[in-house]
Amino acid sequence: MTEHDGRIKLVAIFAMAVLAFAVPASAYADTAAEINRDVDSALAKLYARNPAAKNLAKGAKGILVFPSIVKGGLIVGGQYGEGALRKGGKTAGYYNTAAASVGLQAGVQSFGYALFFMTKDALKYLEESKGWEIGVGPTVVIVDEGIAKSLSTTTAKEDIYAFSFDQKGLMAGMALQGLKVTRIEK
């Protein structure tokens, strides 16, 4: 191991320690009931603030909601959150999302996101995969305010639409990141 490799490992350990102490307990839901309550609240807030999300929900085959994801890092970072897949308004499974990143970054933030699965094939891909890496498989479109203004159930032609909400904290920098979604038992 070179001196440079040793420094990288030391920075990684430091970043993970910072993240472990900075992550609020709300990022780790203990029970299915807590996840369901948080998902209900997150969807209500999202629909109230974003009519496009509410309209898309009518045609979605499933909605995967992560109410609280915590992200933090210093050069090396990570993020984690738990959520639920809703089909027909009912919970059909529980999932976590985790990512690691490396690059010029510093800070801690929390946010939530919801993935609207518009096709049966995209939903099947999620349900049958042992862990879905976003960017591999079905097409995901991130919905910002510009897209949201023109998005409707008739114009929504992609597999999955992603809405981010409730961002708090500060995370600055650029990083390479791999995000994975995995089914969990609750």
Average pLDDT, the chain: 79
Q: What is the pTM of this model?
A: 0.76
**Distance (Å, whole) CA 157 – CA 25:** 38
Which range of 7-21, 42-56, 136-150, 160-174 scores highest in mean pLDDT? It is 42-56
> How many domains is the chain built from?
1
pLDDT band at 101 (very low <50, low <70, confident <90, very high): confident
Where b means 16+ CB within 10 Å and e means fewer, 121-159 reads ebbebbeeeeebebeeebebbebeeeebeebeeeebeeb
More confident residue, 172 or 150: 172
CB–CB of 183/93 below 8 Å? yes
Among 3-12, 53-62, 93-102, the minimum mean pLDDT is found in 3-12
Beta bridge partners of 114: 65, 163
**Locus of tokens 């440079």:** 4
**Residue range 137-151: average pLDDT?**
58
For residues 33 and 150, give the distance between their C-alpha atoms in angstroms, rounded to a whole number. Answer: 35
CA proximity to 145, closest of 67, 53, 22: 53
Q: Which domain holds residue 59?
A: 3-184
- Give tens-digit pLDDT for 9-38: 544 455 555 445 444 444 455 799 999 999
The number of residues making up the chain comes to 186
Residue showing tokens 């490992």: 9
What percentage of the chain carries pLDDT values higher than 70? 69
